[in-house]
Structure 1
Amino acid sequence: MNKNKQVKEVKVNEIAEKLGKAKSVVLVSYQGITVEQDTALRKKLRESGIDYKVYKNTLVSRAAKSLNIEGLDPYLEGPVSIAFGYENETLAAKLLSDFAKESKKLELKAAYVDGSVLDAEGVKMLATIPSKEVLIGKFLGSIKSPLSNLVYMLNAVAESKA
């Protein structure tokens, strides 16, 4: 096996490992953003625990096929960078969507979340969903409020009879 083929095989395995671990994968077209913008974006993503890389599209396609991920190939055209979100399903989409609004050059292409491929509109919708922790907090708050009111009312009834 020649050296070039071995290097490509290592890269495909690296991409497949990241695809397998990631809770969300967001594909963006970065053509037209400045070096300063790219550096700022990478820093923000890194601080949030998101891995942001540029790979050859053919290698990403091979890695996706090795994991039986279908539907990414149409979005792997032109210069594409990939954000791998390991902690949260929505954070990568949110950060990239916010950055795309600011820069106007970064274009959201697609995302792969929970076994489904989302188009650009799906990525924008994903970006608006609060994180899992926030949703759980809101749910618990909505459960706690009626229970607190019930306890307050029962306590008031008990005090009035006493």
Structure 2
Amino acid sequence: MARPDKAAAVAELKNKFTSSNGAVLTEYRGLSVAELRDLRRSLGEDASYAVSKNTLTQIAAREAGIEDIDDKLVGPTAIAFIDGDPVTVAKGLRDFAKANPLLVIKGGVLDGRTIDAAEVNKLADLESRETLLAKMAGALKGSLSNAASLFNAPLSQAARVVAALEAKAQEDPSVIAGAGSAPAAEADSAPEATQADAAPAAEDTPAADAAEEN
């Protein structure tokens, strides 16, 4: 490979290391072209899987700031660069390796840190992002339903009280009218009491005294 081609390949690998969510390094020795095609198909859009030269991968990894990867770049290497959920990719590779023992998981890179094959398998044992989101959505749905019940209970009780009052008022309008008429009656009687108190008695007036003298 000419030097410009090598530089371009290194630049592409470096970009994949820095832009992807992670990478899993595998050895594919003995796998047929059809089996490799099936592996790529099983990973779908979550990862791109391609053969890579070890020397170029070492250079690209160093330029991307990834260390301690050289011991995993032994033998023919193919890298699954993760574009989606790392757990889904780890599961896919592990399941494929169980069915096709010629695929060997060497290790990988996650969050800029190198991990070994055992850690990739542990990652595969975790629940996928979609499963966790589904569980979270179910939990939130249950919480919202409970909250709605709590809010609706007082409102329905208040509605029943208002309906009962309306029915009672239709049968006996004084339930509502009587409540507002009592203060008015008291107001009308107050001036009469005041006038009676203010008028002087007849025998106490000067005219009454004069009549008695005559």
TM-score (norm 2): 0.66
**Matching residue within 4, 7, 22 for 2:5:** 7
Q: 1:43 to 1:150 in 2, by over 3 A?
A: closer
1:145 matched to 2:123? The reply is no
1:108 matched to 2:143? The reply is no
Deviation string, structure 1 residues 21-75 (Cα, Å, up to 9, x no partner): 1112111111232333222112333x32521111111110100000111121111
Map 1:37-56 to 2 at 5 A. Answer: 37-45=35-43, 47-56=44-53
1:154 and 1:13 map into 2 onto residues whose CA distance is 59
* Larger relative helix fraction: 2
Say which one has the larger Rg.
Answer: 2
SS of 1:48's equivalent in the other structure is helix
Per the alignment, residue 118 of structure 1 pairs with: 115
1:49 and 1:111 map into 2 onto residues whose CA distance is 15
CA RMSD of aligned residues (A): 2.1
Check the 8 A contact 1:52/1:82 in 2, yes or no: yes
TM-score (norm 1): 0.84
1:94 matched to 2:91? The reply is yes
**Matching residue within 48, 59, 64 for 1:62:** 59
Per the alignment, residue 127 of structure 1 pairs with: 124
1:76 and 1:129 map into 2 onto residues whose CA distance is 26
Check the 8 A contact 1:22/1:84 in 2, yes or no: yes
2:42 and 2:141 map into 1 onto residues whose CA distance is 35
Check the 8 A contact 1:24/1:92 in 2, yes or no: no
SS of 2:145's equivalent in the other structure is helix
Number of positions where the alignment pairs a residue of Structure 1 with one of Structure 2: 159
Relative to structure 2, which stretch is displaced further, 11-20 or 150-159? 150-159
Relative to structure 2, which stretch is displaced further, 129-138 or 110-119? 129-138
Q: Shift of residue 11 of structure 1? A: 1.1
Identity of aligned residues (%): 35
Q: Shift of residue 160 of structure 1? A: 5.4
Q: Unaligned regions of 5+ residues in structure 1, if any?
A: none
2:112 and 2:37 map into 1 onto residues whose CA distance is 30
Q: Unaligned regions of 5+ residues in structure 2, if any?
A: 161-214
Per the alignment, residue 25 of structure 2 pairs with: 27
Q: Shift of residue 78 of structure 1? A: 0.9
Q: Shift of residue 156 of structure 1? A: 4.2
